[in-house]
Amino acid sequence: QQQVKQSPQSLIVQKGGISIINCAYENTAFDYFPWYQQFPGKGPALLIAIRPDVSEKKEGRFTISFNKSAKQFSLHIMDSQPGDSATYFCAASKELGKIIFGKGTRLHILP
């Protein structure tokens, strides 16, 4: 049973455009929703995270939108740059920090 569903699998966006990656979760006990960014040959690194008591969180060009009733959340990358090309994982967790990851989205920003 896949607890965190992520889409799309891959995404190509023009430089300066908006990249949008969507995730849906099933377990209402999840209380922490991070996004991780992974460059080729590197380990994932936390990009931005949100808790269900807020509907949006913004850090620079990166924004998480959270819809608790729909059990969905999304990552928006504004003014996408070639340096943003990476694989992005949404995730959800509860208790003891055990994180359930989505399957990832490979983002490519065209120069």
Report the interface residues with another protein, using CB under 8 A.
6, 9, 32, 34, 41-46, 49, 89, 93, 96-99, 101-104
Q: Counting Cβ atoms within 10 Å, is residue 82 exposed (0-12), middle (13-18) or buried (19+)?
A: exposed
| Smallest gap from residue 6 Cβ to another protein (A) | 8
Q: Which is nearer to another protein, 80 or 104 (CB)?
A: 104
Q: Which is nearer to another protein, 70 or 98 (CB)?
A: 98
Q: Which is nearer to another protein, 14 or 28 (CB)?
A: 28
| Smallest gap from residue 108 Cβ to another protein (A) | 16
Assess contact for 77 and 62: CB atoms under 8 A: yes
Return the CA Rg of the chain. 13
